[in-house]
Every structure is written in structure tokens, then in C-alpha cells.
Structure 1
Amino acid sequence: MGVDGSRSALEAVSWAVREARLRRTGLRVVHVMSSWPLEAGEDTPHAEVGRWMREGAESTLEGALGRIREGGGDVEVTSELLPGGDPRRALIEAAADAGLLVVGSHGLGGFEGMLLGSVALGVAGHAPCPVAVVRRAPVQPRGRVVVGVDGSPAGADAVAFAFAEAEVRDAELHAVHAWSRPIVGCGPFALADAEEAAQRERRALAEALAGQGERHPDVKVVERLEYGHPVEALREASLEADLLVVGSRGRGDLKGLLLGSVSHSLLHHAACPVVVTPFPGRAPGRDEDRESAPRAASRRT
């Protein structure tokens, strides 16, 4: 996970520790800083400035590690200072063999009142693994995971990820499929047409979930067919959830987009942490990939 010393990042640290504990895996904590303070020697110009910057970066990492120690030491933690000018690129590269990348919703560089920072938005949909953006994490577990279902390839990976999350959390899985269409005509013909459309959407929801119940037989699934816009339906569902899972982009988004309009909006407005699974072909996101441990780092605690 990436940290920068902000309150949002420290809250994300606590969430990431609980997630690692649930998965029974390690946690790698990284902080991105400019390359030259890490590479500059003591006999170079501005050596004192470089030393001051390194000390500040190390203090940021130590603050995150202290937060982890407060929550208990039963998770193996490694930490590392990463050189790089753009933290988004550095975090994406660092996540090459990770099962999940965790970031806070906004960092030290964000404007006051911003709902989502540039780093969180920049890594979601671009990273080679699912990305968790932590904002408004529930103090007490609610026992519910929500997944947005749209029948797209990205949505299929989101469903698989959500089933696995519900299983390790011993939580209910609420599968939400929102749909809307204009009703042409009036009277009994319009009603019959609307009911036929609802049946098609209900079948689409069932097909999207097919097979996952056999892989995760202990997960209780609540199928929710909502008439309306998916952003509003999923935002409402997130009010009572521990986690919301969505694909990076769905059926209605323009080809070439890495982050779709629904996932983009929910990163700003969901009432719980959001996981965005990558578009198929970019990354691992299925159950077997989620078991991989983070790569080795430079410090342990």
C-alpha cells in the first residue's frame, strides 16, 4: 500500500492491516519520493536538503509502521522508500506482483474538501491488480459486501473478487444489478413490455453470478435488481456495506477508457471503501491471484 503521511493514508493503513489479516498474507508499505535525495551523496551540492528530505520520508514510513504496531503485530510487514517523480506511476509499478493495492482517498497534495485525490484516481483502473480506495471505513464490521453486476468482462472479475472477499469476511454478498430503459406506449402493452424487460435483466443477473456459488458455498448471496441508474443504486447500497466492489469499466463505456463513468463516480461518492478490479487482460484479479504475497522490501517490523 502507498502512504504519504496524510490522515487519509493512515486510515487506509489500518484498513490494509485488517485486510492482510483476513487474507493471511503480508503487507508491503511504500512511500514515493523524488529520486535525487536517495541517490545523492554527502559530497554533492544540496546534500543537506537531500538528507532532510530522506529523513522526512523515513518519518512518514515510521508513522505508518507505528499505526500498524498499534493494531497488533500478527501481520508480516515490509516497508520501502520508492524513488520516482510521479507517485501514481511508482505505485502502479510496485503493484506488479501484488494481490491488492491500497491507497487513501486523498493525500497531502489535495485541496481541502476534495472527495478524491489525483493519486487514488490515477491508480484505479491503471494498476495491474485490484485497487482499494479507502474512505469512510466503517468503525464496526457490518457483515456485508456489495458488488456491482453489469454482465461486462470487468464486471465478471469484480463478481469473483467480491465472492472471495465475502467469504474471508464471513459476510453477506449483495449483488446489485441496476437497469433502466424508456417505456414506449401505455396501458397493458407497456406493462407487459416492462415486465418482460425486468425478466431479462433478472436472468442477466443470475447468469453473471453463475458458478460462483459452487466455488464459495458458504457465502449467502442477496440478488438485488434495481430500476434506476447504477451509480445511485450502488451508492445507496454502500451505506450499509463494509466494501463495495466494481469493475474498472462496464458495457456502456467508450472503448479505450481505463476507468468507466460508474466506477469513477463511486470512487467519489460511495459511503464505504471501494475496490476497482482491473480490466481483463491487464492484470490478475481472480481468486488464485489474490493469494500471492507482496514482493520483498527493504524493512521489516
Structure 2
Amino acid sequence: MQLSGDVIVGVDGSDQSAEAAAWALKELRGTRRALRLIHVITPAHLEIDDEVELQEAGRTVLTGLADRLGDLDAAHPDGASGTEILTEVIVGDAGEELAMRAGDAGLLVLGRHGAGTVNSRRIGTVSFGLPGHALSTVLVHTVRDGSEFDDPSRHPSMARGGATGGVVVGLDTSEYAGVAALDAASLAVASGWRLRVLVGVDALGDRAEAEARAQADLAWLREAFPDLDADIEFPSGDPAQMLIDASKAADIVVIGKRGKGVFAAMTSQLGRTSSAVLTDAEASVLLVPYRRDPRLSARSA
């Protein structure tokens, strides 16, 4: 996955945010980018809450997590990566502060739930609202089978429990979706996972033409990533539901933040689709904004 800057992880002291930070650390190996752990204090009443005490508690949380991550990194078979781990405690609104800092980041990573909701399947308020405002790519991380701290060299995968596992991406003709597909393929290759490309074609007038274009897109991805293990599917029904259904056996679902094009089933209500996938997906969700990528020219050639 292409990283244009450092990776920011929102940390609130929960197991979910610690898992998200460990996922990010593994993705950073070899990139020479830093891992920035940010803890945001949002007291209900600043005049009542002891800000100094809250800041100290936040620093304690970050120091403990940074130590765990350092140990995890050092335990890698290839040795420590040298990734710089930075910590910062901020007072303010969590969504606003993280969104502001994400503008210069290559990736913003959030746990699906905040502290106190570990056993809930519902997405947290910040994790749901922030991806639409952050300018960077955003990963909302979900803990599925195992822990990121179990193995320093790889992510846990649903495939080890007998499920399909791997990466799922929704694809249409838009450049937004093309960029998302590139990141999905890169992530799949780096993780040694299979990529499932889903194309909703129910709303198309010429299904054969749409399927031919999708097959050409798959060939384009394989040319960009020779080691890619991928296949393409044409499920029927609502585009959001098809991604949600696919998430049940997946490790990560990837979707472009915006899109437009011939594949109307995947694009005409992309805002609704992204929101629905964020809310109900059982896997981690990676939302990718548009960027200029020279590989897109080969897709449209």
C-alpha cells in the first residue's frame, strides 16, 4: 500500500486501539515512515476535570503501548525495523484533532470501538464519522481471529480458521475505484493474501460489456502486481450488501471514498455504500481517497 506520509493511530487505551497500532507498525516496516500514536483527551468540563492528571494518564497509556510495539517489532525474524514511534497527548475533540492531523499523513488508523465497548459489534462514533472528513486514507481496524501481537511478522487472518480470508475490493470504472484497487492489490501481495474483486452489474444495460471491462481491469492489476493472487466476482443485489456479505469471511474490505462511472450499481450511491459498509462490515475497512497514480493510464489504455 502506498504511503505518502507517516501513519497516525488514534489511541484511547482500549485493546482495539492497541491492535490497530500493531497492525500499522507491521505495515510500516521498510517504508522509513514514522508511527504517530495520538491520544486525545476530551473532558466534558475542562473547569472540573483535572487536565494535568488526564494528560499524565494519557502519556502513561502511550508509553506502555509504545513499549509493547517496540518489543513486537524487535521480535520480528529480520530484527527491529527501526520504525520511529512518536507519541502525543492532545486536549480537544477527538474527531477534529485527528482529522486535522490526517491531512499530512499517509494513513490514519482507528480501532472499530473505543474504550468500554470491546465486546460490541457497533462501530464507535469517532470511527464512523472521521473517515468522511479525513483527507488521508483511513483504516478502521476490526479484531477478528487472533491478535496482531501473536506474530511479529504477519497479520492474523480469517483463513487460518478455515474461512476465505484475504482482501475484498469493490470495483467500478471510476479512477477512485482504480486507486482503491491498486491499494487493495498491494496490501494483498504484501500480506500473502488472496484478492477478491467484486463488481456489481445489476444496474447495467449491457452485462457482457461490463464483465469484459472488469476482466480487463483484473488483467491490469495482475500486470501491476505479478505476484497477485486474485479473482473477480459479479454478485447480484445491493452493492453495499454485497460488500458486507463478503466481509464476513474477509480480513479487509477496501473501497474508494468517491466514484462515478458506468458501473452505476457501485457508484450512484457510493456515500451510502461507504457508510453502510463502515457500519455493518465484519472485517476491517480501508477507505481510499483519489490520488494521481501513473498506473491508472495503463488501465484506461
CA distance in 2, matches of 1:146, 1:165: 11
CA distance in 1, matches of 2:193, 2:118: 35
For 1:6, the equivalent position in structure 2 comes to 14
Report SS of the residue matched to 1:180: coil
CA distance in 2, matches of 1:199, 1:247: 24
TM-score by length of 1: 0.74
CA deviation digits over 1:262-292, x for unaligned, max 9? 11111122221110012x3xxx48599xxxx
Identity among equivalent pairs (%) = 29
Alignment of 1:1-301 (within 5 A): 1-21=9-29, 25-33=33-41, 49-73=50-74, 74-75=80-81, 76-108=83-115, 113=120, 115-139=122-146, 140-141=156-157, 142=159, 144-181=166-203, 197-209=206-218, 211-251=220-260, 260-278=271-289, 280=290, 284=291
CA distance in 1, matches of 2:182, 2:14: 32
Q: Which 10-residue stretch deviates more, 119-128 or 244-253?
A: 244-253
CA distance in 2, matches of 1:129, 1:98: 6
Is contact 2:167-2:250 (8 Å) kept?
A: yes
Is contact 1:29-1:80 (8 Å) kept?
A: yes
CA distance in 2, matches of 1:155, 1:166: 16
CA distance in 1, matches of 2:88, 2:70: 19
Judged with a 3 Å threshold, the aligned counterparts in structure 2 of structure 1 residues 241 and 113 are, in CA distance, closer, same or farther, namely closer
Identify the structure with bigger relative contact order (alpha carbons < 8 Å, sequence gap 6+): 1
Shift of residue 225, structure 1, vs aligned partner: 1.1
Considering only aligned residues, what root-mean-square deviation do their CA atoms show, in Å?
A: 3.4
TM-score by length of 2: 0.74
**Long gaps (5+) in structure 1:** 182-193, 289-301
Q: Which 10-residue stretch deviates more, 74-83 or 9-18?
A: 74-83
Report SS of the residue matched to 1:267: helix
Is contact 1:61-1:79 (8 Å) kept?
A: no
Kindly tell me the number of residue pairs found equivalent between the two proteins: 261
CA deviation digits over 1:178-227, x for unaligned, max 9? 2324xxxxxxxxxxxx9x73313312423544533222111122011111
